[in-house]
Amino acid sequence: MKEFIQFHKVNSLGYIWLIFCGFYLTKITALSPIYLSFLLITISAPLYLSAKKTIKIDRSFFSLSCMSLLFSFVILNSKTPLLINLFISLISPFLVAVFYKNKKAKSNILFFIFFSYALLFNIDGIWRVMNPDLTNLEKLESLEIGFQIYKGNSIMYSDSNYVGLQAVLFISVYAYLFKEKTFNVNRKIIYYTILILLLSSIILSFSRSATIGMCTFLFFHLLEKTNKLFFLVASILASTITIVFFSNHFSNDISYNSKFHILSITYDYLHHADIYRMLFGVGFGNAANVIGIGTHNLFITFLIESGLIGLMLFFLILIYFLKKLKYDFFIVVFPFILSSMSLGTTALPYFFTFICLCILKKHKKFSILP
């Protein structure tokens, strides 16, 4: 006989973490809201846990996280801020388990959280458009990538690609969490307003990889809802035509070609790297110092900075997500991973937080109130 599980309302600490786990303002202050909220949560969590009898955490993910945490501190050359963010990232799933497992959240509060992020992303985009970085304007225009002037003055990160990357994850998670909900007219207006704001924030990021990620999300999202065979064939044809049409343009695009240049440099680096660096990497935040250019790719970042062992651990975590989410992995996780092939970071507290929340939702261990 299946055990009856009583769902309780989410504690306010859980909402605080959800709203601030991706709230970075690195160009305004070194102490972004995420760090203050994490400090508050870690101080308050023991008091919260003391009132609970047991907290069950998935053993597979617990093992992976422990290995990753132990491994992260082996890398003595890592930059402290990135190690702190990696630590927060790997602690995030436990916070989700503590505050959201067998809990029910209020839809109004979740709407507010996603609206806050959508607003932050759009404010960042509007600020960049109104305050372009004109330092290399003539050179960028001569290379036909003048739009780059709108990517540098982000208030959240050093590059608006990071904003686009985060927005891709949030639109995927947002649509996934609410896909089974039915709304009245007012709620529909709120739902689609937030959806439109998230879409506009991706456009305002001027990130082509984020746009590709958004299209990938829409593809798998619609594939799930429509005649799959017809939609799949039509999408493949449309994608083929699009690739052929734009192939000539991208072949002369310095930004696009630089990604292949980075792959070539990475290959040369690995060819000459000693066994220690191959296995353990050069430390988080040091890739650019080693290969002379930013990696602009999440997997290359993990490979160079944490070595084959770090990259393998990250792949194991992705495989765990695939096992838990099944097809929904391609709706929620894959668009983000695809976008991160152009620019990625190991500081991903919001990624682990929201993906683990989706896993709880998938396995009916988390619900959303009307």
Q: Is residue 22 part of a domain?
A: yes
Phi-psi region of 58 (alpha: psi -120 to 50; beta: other; left: phi over 0): beta
Find the mean pLDDT for residues 141-155: 73
335 pLDDT band (50/70/90 cuts)? very high
Residue 244: the pLDDT is 46
Residue 61: the pLDDT is 60
Q: Are 209 and 164 in contact (CB under 8 A)?
A: yes
What's the CA gap between 306 and 309, in Å, rounded?
7
Find the mean pLDDT for residues 347-360: 93
Residue 245: the pLDDT is 45
Choice between 137 and 28, residue whose per-residue pLDDT is larger: 28
Task: Give residue-wise pLDDT tens across range 202-220.
Answer: 999 988 888 888 888 888 8
Task: Give residue-wise pLDDT tens across range 63-113.
Answer: 656 656 555 555 566 777 888 888 899 889 889 988 998 999 999 999 999
What's the CA gap between 245 and 73, in Å, rounded?
48
Q: Is residue 196 part of a domain?
A: yes
For residue 177, what are the contacts with CB-CB under 8 A and spacing of at least 6? 110, 357, 358, 361, 368
Q: Is residue 223 part of a domain?
A: yes
Residue 331: the pLDDT is 92
Residue 343: the pLDDT is 73
pTM (two decimals): 0.87
Flag whether pLDDT at 359 surpasses 80: yes
For residue 217, what are the contacts with CB-CB under 8 A and spacing of at least 6? 168, 171, 172, 175, 331, 335
Q: Is residue 2 part of a domain?
A: no
| Mean pLDDT, all residues of the chain | 82
Task: Give residue-wise pLDDT tens across range 234-274.
Answer: 555 555 545 444 444 444 555 555 666 778 888 888 888 88
What's the CA gap between 272 and 63, in Å, rounded?
33
Q: Is residue 1 part of a domain?
A: no
- How much of the chain, in percent, has pLDDT values that exceed 90? 34
Flag whether pLDDT at 133 surpasses 50: yes
Q: Is residue 122 part of a domain?
A: yes
Instruction: Give the angle 72-81-42 at the CA atoms, nearest 5°.
Output: 80
Flag whether pLDDT at 156 surpasses 50: yes
Residue 197: the pLDDT is 97
Flag whether pLDDT at 309 surpasses 50: yes
Burial readout 343-356 (b: 16 or more C-beta within 10 A, e: otherwise): bbbbbbbbbbbbbb
**What number of other Cβ atoms are within 10 A of residue 264's Cβ?**
9
Note down the domain range covering 360: 8-50+58-368
Q: Is residue 94 part of a domain?
A: yes
Find the mean pLDDT for residues 130-148: 70
Of 5-19, 47-61, 197-211, 342-356, minimum mean pLDDT range: 47-61
Residue 173: the pLDDT is 97
Domain count, the chain: 1
Task: Give residue-wise pLDDT tens across range 168-202.
Answer: 999 999 999 998 887 889 999 999 999 999 999 99
Residue 109: the pLDDT is 95
35 pLDDT band (50/70/90 cuts)? very high
Flag whether pLDDT at 318 surpasses 60: yes
142 pLDDT band (50/70/90 cuts)? low
Q: Is residue 138 part of a domain?
A: yes
Choice between 250 and 40, residue whose per-residue pLDDT is larger: 40
What's the CA gap between 182 and 241, in Å, rounded?
37
2 pLDDT band (50/70/90 cuts)? very low
Pairing relationship of beta strands 103-106 and 366-369 according to DSSP bridges:
parallel
